[in-house]
A and B are shown apart, each in its own frame.
Chain A
Amino acid sequence: MSNTLLKIESVCKIYPGNILALNNVNININNNEIIAILGPSGSGKSTLIRTILGLTSLNKGNIYFRSKNYKDNNFNIIRNSIATIYQNFNLVSRSSIIKNIILGDIAKVSSWRLLFNVWPKETQDKAKDIIEEVGLNDIDYNKRVENLSGGQQQRVGIARALIGSPDIILADEPVSNLDPQTAKDILNLIRKTAKKNNISVLCSLHQTNFAKTFADRIIGMKEGNILFDKPAKKILKFDLNKLYK
């Protein structure tokens, strides 16, 4: 059985105005592998993540999940297997911590349960376990997320990603809005929970030093092209900040 979980094959994305965001991108993501994508703003990192999620259509190429090609109409095959963590957390700010977390399971809940806000007990129990796992057990989980710090909000974001038991987490600059220490803690948490639950991670980052300790593999991107794709161990000695010059 192949170890490849997600295969991105010759993907091109051109935005209106002939802006080339992704140019013939090829990436293989293996099971239980943590990958960091580095690159300056506009290098195509976010577009790549949005394309995998089906939030942006691709102009050329294919994306395979467990060897199944998915296009515009059959994203459902990946919905239950892919979770996302966002730079701006993308939480429902006026809803509670636990509500935001169980929303990670929204596609699996029946319409009438959603209408009357009656969530299955097992989902709620699972959410409570995950709250502990992401280190939010000291906070009242009925508190609104708008009253939490940035780091705490991102922990809620991680918990929301974990509740659906995904095979892969896509993280779009998850620590850009956080201070260095909180950023380090959050990346450690993502790595720890991913390894524990056998989840692959594709994470775009700007902090090259964090990427070296966080990822198993590092991909460098610039202007929609992949410049390098190497195991983290092999590029520890290189100054990756040159990517940003």
Chain B
Amino acid sequence: MIANNKKLNPPFNYKTIILVLLIIFILIFSAQRVGIPNIVDRLYEVSLDIIGVKETSRISDGLSSIANEMWPPVIETKKDINLILNFDSSNLPFYSFIENQKVQLYETNLETLELESREEEVLFLVEPFGYLKLVLLKVIESIEIAFWASFIALIISIPLAYYSAKNYAPNKTIYFLSRSIVSGLRAIPELISVLFMVLAFGFGPAAGIMALGLHSAGFLGKFFAEDIENANQGPQDALKALGSSRWRILKEAVLPQVMPQYVAYILYILDRNLRMATVIGLVGGGGIGQELKGRFDLFEYGHVTTIILVIFIVVFIFDQISAKLRNKLIGNSS
């Protein structure tokens, strides 16, 4: 038997210890800068509040005051009929009614110059699901933004992917250029690019579609190109030996291999764009985000709750549909 004098490598050495100490030092330094002690303080306070040692905490006070205002969600709309242009009481909107309500009005008495209140009966047009309807329409606009953005991303990413795949790019310059475009598109967050798109296309869905579309084209281009590069070389060699051109090999030997992942990527991008479409509305990109921002700024938290609930339900339903679609397409495509 040959004697083995070699020692096993220890699990750590002085380099590991130095590295760990360095990481700890950086974390401590960084924690001070980003306010980690503040988070710890407040969490400590709220945990004392929960177990009953302390009566109040800033977290629970802040959240409970908002929570009280957020519930119940607002789903109806109520409008003073005097403020509705060309109001026709014989032609009311579907499922709405007129309600007579006493309203306290305040007016300055010009003789005494004092503020006096009086009660007056005002007629209101009440639509019990009016606000919900408005939110749903805005959500549909967000869904449309997401679909169009994903479609634009797909169209842009197909040529980018071809030229960004090392084994298919015609030359190094085009490969480098294409890769740079793909990285550049990904590097600019939608929330930033939408600000520029608003300048170019104005407030509304068009700016949102372009911002989301360009950003996700960067993602799709990268994903698609990497899958082309990593596709099994065997079938490609076989078709190359038969005299196929590059695009023929790509279509017949590469696409069938990568198609399941491509479907998954497109559904992921669609899912991501749907969530982002609600966010970019906050900065002028149209859709439900714009409505959410408006209500938040007016402290109408009941309306905010309705919007958040509807977004949650729509995203959840879309998640279920895309999971089923993915299984179906990946399971049977050929």
Name A residues whose Cβ lies closer than 8 Å to a Cβ of B. Answer: 53-55, 75-76, 79-80, 82-84, 86, 88-96, 99, 103-104, 106-107, 111, 114-115, 144, 160, 164
Contacts and interface: CB of A to CB of B under 8 A. Distances in A.
Interface in B235-278: 235, 237-244, 248, 251-253, 256-257, 259-260
Interface SS, B side: helix
Contacts of B257: 92-94
A114 to B, nearest CB: 6
Contacts of B240: 55
A168 to B, nearest CB: 12
Contacts of A164: 242
B99 to A, nearest CB: 62
Contacts of A75: 243
Interface of B: 232, 234-235, 237-244, 248, 251-253, 256-257, 259-260, 333-334
A95 B235 CA distance: 11
Contacts of A55: 237, 240-241
Nearest to A87: B234
Contact of A106 (B232, B252, B259): B252
Given A106-B248, A107-B244, 18 more contacts: A54-B241, A55-B240, A55-B241, A84-B241, A86-B238, A89-B234, A90-B235, A92-B235, A92-B257, A95-B252, A95-B256, A95-B334, A96-B334, A103-B242, A104-B242, A106-B242, A111-B248, A115-B251
23 contacts: A53-B241, A76-B243, A79-B242, A79-B243, A80-B243, A84-B238, A86-B238, A88-B234, A90-B238, A92-B252, A92-B256, A94-B256, A94-B259, A103-B252, A104-B242, A106-B239, A106-B242, A107-B242, A107-B243, A107-B244, A111-B248, A114-B251, A164-B242
Nearest to B260: A94
Contacts of A91: 234-235, 238
Given A92-B252, A94-B256, A103 B239 contact: yes
A89 B252 CA distance: 16
